[in-house]
Amino acid sequence: MFAGCEQTGDKVTNDPIAPKAKKVEKKLTAHGHTRVDPYYWLNERENSEVIGYLEAENEYTDKVMEHTKEFQQTLFEEIIGRIKQTDESVPYRSNGYWYYVRYEEGKEYPLYCRKEGTLEADEVVMLDVNAMAEGHEYYQVVGLNVSLDNRWLAFGVDTVSRRQYNIFIKDLQSGEVLDPGVTNTTGGSTWANDNSTLFYTRKDEQTLRSFQVYQHKLGANEADKLVYQEDDETFNTGIYKTKSNEFLVIWSGSTLTSDYRILDANDPGNEFKPFSPRERGLEYFIEHFEDKFYIVTNLEAQNFRLMETPDDKTSKSNWKEVIAHRQDVLMESIEVFKNYLVVEERKNGLTNLRIIAQNTGEEHYLDFGEEAYTAYTSINREFDTELLRYAYTSMTTPNSTFDYDMKTKEKTLLKQQEVVGGYDPSAYETKRLYAKSRDGVNVPISLVYKKSLKKPAGNPTLLYGYGSYGATIDPTFSSVRLSLLDRGFIFAIAHIRGGQMLGRPWYDDGKLFKKKNTFNDFIDCAEHLLAEEYTEPGNLFAMGGSAGGLLMGAVVNQRPDLWKGVVAAVPFVDVMTTMLDESIPLTTGEYDEWGNPNEKDPYEYMLSYSPYDNVEAKSYPNLLVTTGLHDSQVQYWEPAKWVAKLRDMKSDNNRLLLKTNMETGHSGASGRFEPYKETALEYAFILDLAGIQK
């Protein structure tokens, strides 16, 4: 008998007996409506019965997938075998030093390095994370930040996988690591120009909302000083320094509103002053240049426009337009240089880099020479340079790093991702399709396949989607994905509403009371792939994670017949219970994305699609659901409850598997190779269902 479980008849043909979570009735009432949640008790993380249930589900998953164990190992070795083990990033220059990340063969973690002056100088290893991670099941270093005098390195460490970081400071001259006792932070930090004042952001212990900015004085005995607290529970906050090194900037933001406070970086003891009064619905971000700030904003501009204002007169009334709003172009970001301004724009789903001379206003676009690609600005720390560092990739082109001379318009390829064992891009084909949605909108689909394995009647196809927060899933290269393509799979991305592929309206049409467009678009993309014979009934699979896991839960409720198998990674599926509980991390900051269920109309709309609340007694496709016990983004109990309810109610004999990583959180295992064991399980699950077992 599993702890916390009952034995039940096996619903999965020829598989071991599945655990069945006990039921403890819990009534949840809002707006006169009562939901009965029999698995609410699974949110007790410290309860031994809960741990016993999760372990029982893990054991069941292992037994069901036992026949694929060797295949999983083959896939894992194949995936990591394509990765160049001894490798390093392209060095970038910052404040007189060259910085880069290096990996050594057989080791899981990076070495963060730098060289002074030239690349021929002696290497200094700032952090060897392999040595630091010894004795830890999970270890992550983030937020490396060097002081202006190049002596002090601040960085954040998480050993639990709950994204609560302790900050350490290393003296790069002596090698001594200081522990200032700074805990429960975002991991990031910012040095003032005096090289002794460090600002960092603390999280709320329970909700994990970043809400306080503190000032730490190096070597001082005094307690750290609270310099800003964000009291609006729908906002998060943080701090950074402008590229000009002239201003410290405290930002606060919710889904729909931005707010900033600025301070002279040479005067860290002074008070931060508001950039402009907070205004709900006004979104913007700022970057300093000479005696002014550039502002990318949605002020009377749904797709954003560029404005500027004197750095001593920053209120909105002083903002002047530089680049006007365009209905067909989304302004995504800017990069400021001494002589050039680079604007990252998105048109027809593709990113364009626009180069503008600061003095003359002359401009041109960087020519990528292809019709379908992904490009974006990379690390550009230097201000006085003619070189723009950018990255380029497509579904058939490995990740590539370029330097572009903005004056001569010459490109230099610095590095292209090496696929160990060889890779011929001409053997693969990528396409952009458009599916007509049920309300008449054309939804883009990006797909890739191996030409020699493409079948006229259709191939097994994996359709991936996300569709939330305005996040665009760009078509990029993945050497990992070759394990599917080389076995005859088509991989497709549905660029559904809720993302921002086709501009800000694309996002606005997939959230709040239009959220169901996201789910409908994904289903309509699947129908299009079937109609165009890229795949065939019984050979279509779906995958999504986090908010994309919500997508998976919604589409299997709505159209379970479409899918042979579905992978839902760390899925946000218990929408109602989570969004009604303000003590859960992220909840209050999500109201502008999903709606506030404390109000009746949003409650009823969200209830109508919440995957957990809409499980029915019917057939469901094969499902693999993954989670992490320490997940701070989507709590482990959401997928656990969902699986328990599905197992109790579904009428089919298809596989239903829950895999909980008992050591990790939202992002899975740490390290360079270890996470691919989870990928190997997901791929083995899909390939096995497609009848491919080697």
The catalytic residue positions are 546, 631, 666
Measured at the alpha carbon of residue 138, what is the angle toward residues 416 and 590, in degrees to the nearest 5? 80
Do the beta carbons of residue 340 and residue 349 sit within 8 Å? Answer: no
Side-chain half-sphere exposure of 234, counting CA atoms within 13 A: 16
From CA 600, how far away is CA 229, in angstroms rounded?
Answer: 31
Report how far apart, in Å, the C-alpha atoms of 202 and of each of 183, 247, 494 are. 8, 21, 37
Of 351, 362, 475, which Cα lies nearest the Cα of 409? 362
Tokens of 476: 């990029």
Strands (E), 478-589: 490-494, 540-545, 565-569
Side-chain half-sphere exposure of 78, counting CA atoms within 13 A: 19
602 membership: H or E segment, kind and range: helix 600-607
Q: DSSP string of 283-302?
A: -EEEEEETTEEEEEE-TT-T
From CA 327, how far away is CA 504, in angstroms rounded?
Answer: 10
- Sequence-distant (≥ 6) Cβ neighbours of residue 638 within 8 angstroms: 571, 572, 573, 574, 578, 612, 627
How far is it between the farthest Cα atoms of the chain?
77
* Backbone CA torsion sign across 598, 601, 606, 612: positive
Edge-first strand listing for the sheet containing 490-494:
428-436, 442-450, 490-494, 461-464, 540-545, 565-569, 622-628, 656-661
Tokens of 284: 């913007």
β-strand partners of 402? 390, 413
Tokens of 464: 């991936």
Do the beta carbons of residue 647 and residue 23 sit within 8 Å? Answer: no
Strands 363-365 and 165-171: unpaired
**What does the H/E/C string look like for 368-425?**
CCCCCCEEEECCCCCCCCCEEEEEEECCCCCCEEEEEECCCCCEEEEEECCECCCCCH
Residue 645 in 3-state DSSP? helix
Of 435, 455, 456, which Cα lies nearest the Cα of 446? 435
Residue that has been written with the tokens 């006990």 in this structure: 22
CB atoms within 10 A of CB 8: 13
Tokens of 186: 């975002």
From CA 391, how far away is CA 377, in angstroms rounded?
Answer: 6
Of 680, 594, 670, which Cα lies nearest the Cα of 254? 594
Tokens of 237: 């906050």
153-192 burial, b at 16+ Cβ within 10 Å, e below that, comes to bbbbbbbbbbbbbbbbbbebeeeeeeebebebbbbbbbbb
From CA 319, how far away is CA 549, in angstroms rounded?
Answer: 41
Residue that has been written with the tokens 């040095």 in this structure: 191
Residue 55 in 3-state DSSP? helix
Of 395, 397, 389, 304, which Cα lies nearest the Cα of 353? 389
Strands 565-569 and 540-545: parallel
**What does the H/E/C string look like for 122-148?**
CCEEEEEHHHHCCCCCCCEEEEEEECC
